[in-house]
Amino acid sequence: MSKTNLSTLLLKWYDLNGRDLPWRVKGGAHPDPYVILVSEFMLQQTTVKTVIPYFERFMQRFPNIESLAQSDLEEVYLYWQGLGYYTRARSLHNTAQIIMNDYKGNFPQTKQEILKLKGFGPYTVASFLALAFNQPETVIDGNVTRIICRLYHLTEPTDKITDKIRRLAEDLTDSAHASDYASAIMDLGALICIPKNPLCNQCPWNNYCQSKNLPDLEKIPNKTKISKTEKNGFVYLIFNNKKQIFIRKRTEPGLLTGLYEFPWSETPLYPNALNTNLNISHVFTHIKLTLNIQTLHKNIPPTEGIFVNINELSNYPLSTLMKKVINIWLKK
Ligand code: SF4
């Protein structure tokens, strides 16, 4: 089967079965690059289902690149709250400002220029150029890797055959319809060639797949598992006489910079604090962090930060972890 025929089969399937997503246009129409930019940043490490309501709220408040560039980062965080991976929100805001200031609001369209913007890695650059500008880029994410490995029955560990996967994926890409092709192959991975129980009888590549019906099908792709590091620590809910709670803006560089939080540390900070016997766990990319919740009374801020009423916490962007902390404590 030639590459052209495989991509034609896939594009036909996509015309009939592709998902209608709020950021998507079909049939070679030109999308708004800003819409693609926001959706691509939100979709990094997050599922489509989770992203849709966040995307819709975000676009209502920041409908174009100007409105995002002119906004305050803290407000952007508020609209990102709950999506996690806040570095993406920072990078998106920064990118919007660079596009407005350095490119007069016109999106750059070369790999070299886009790679200089914050938050773009090889995957995001390829998907952005393919989806926003129909450029002949090949998008390779987890879905595409799974499909390629199954289609050609590649059973070696994926990290050992990245070049081979890339070559095969590039070879299949329909350069003339790069945008629709990228969306189509992602939909195939999300709807049909799913990790467990793939729906091979509905797959447009069913007749050409070398793994179909083989007993090891679900074991492909052969991915190396990355074990998570476990960490423990303490988080402090500090109240003053007015029953206000202390929060601080995180300044330490890292994933949560710029967000508000209750003081926390891997080592005890306040020996007189009371242990609530409540623990909360949160999984970051490769770390599982468990915090023991402790309470404390102080009338003067223990460090740089402010006391706020509990019902005003929603005015401050809190990380998902800190929201979990306050929610579990309020429910106790
Ligand atoms: S036939 Fe089955 S395993 Fe092969 S690509 Fe299609 S859905 Fe995936």
Q: Could you tell me if residue 258 is inside a domain?
A: yes
Would the pTM of this model clear 0.85, i.e. be above it?
no
Q: Which residues pair with 292 in a beta bridge?
A: 234, 279
* 149, 212, 216, 219, best to mutate for ligand 1 pocket (most atoms within 8 Å of CB): 212
| C-beta separation of 165 from 148 below 8 A | yes
Q: Could you tell me if residue 267 is inside a domain?
A: yes
pLDDT, tens only, 93-123: 999 999 999 999 999 999 999 999 999 988 8
Task: Extract long-range pairs of 254-258: CB within 8 Å, 24+ residues apart.
Answer: 255/85, 255/86, 255/87, 255/284, 256/86, 256/319, 257/86, 257/90, 258/73, 258/74, 258/77, 258/86, 258/90, 258/317
Closest atom, ligand 1, to C-alpha of 217:
3
Cα of 221 to ligand 1 centre, how many Å? 12
For residue 253, name the pLDDT band (cuts at 50, 70, 90).
Answer: confident
Q: Could you tell me if residue 2 is inside a domain?
A: no
State yes or no: is 74 an active-site residue.
Answer: no
41: amino acid identity, one letter: F
Q: Could you tell me if residue 34 is inside a domain?
A: no
Q: Could you tell me if residue 207 is inside a domain?
A: no
pLDDT, tens only, 287-310: 899 999 999 999 999 999 999 999
Q: Find the CATH number of the domain harbouring 242.
A: 3.90.79.10
Give residue 326's domain range: 229-331
Cα of 223 to ligand 1 centre, how many Å? 17
Q: Could you tell me if residue 304 is inside a domain?
A: yes
Q: Could you tell me if residue 319 is inside a domain?
A: yes
Q: How many domains does the chain have?
A: 1
Q: Could you tell me if residue 109 is inside a domain?
A: no
Q: How wide is the angle at C-alpha 78 spanned by C-alphas 76 and 83, nearest 5°?
A: 95
- State the alpha helices, DSSP H only, in the chain: 3-17, 33-43, 48-61, 65-70, 73-80, 87-103, 111-115, 122-133, 142-151, 162-172, 178-187, 320-331
pLDDT, tens only, 21-69: 999 987 666 789 999 999 999 999 899 999 999 999 999 999 999 999 9
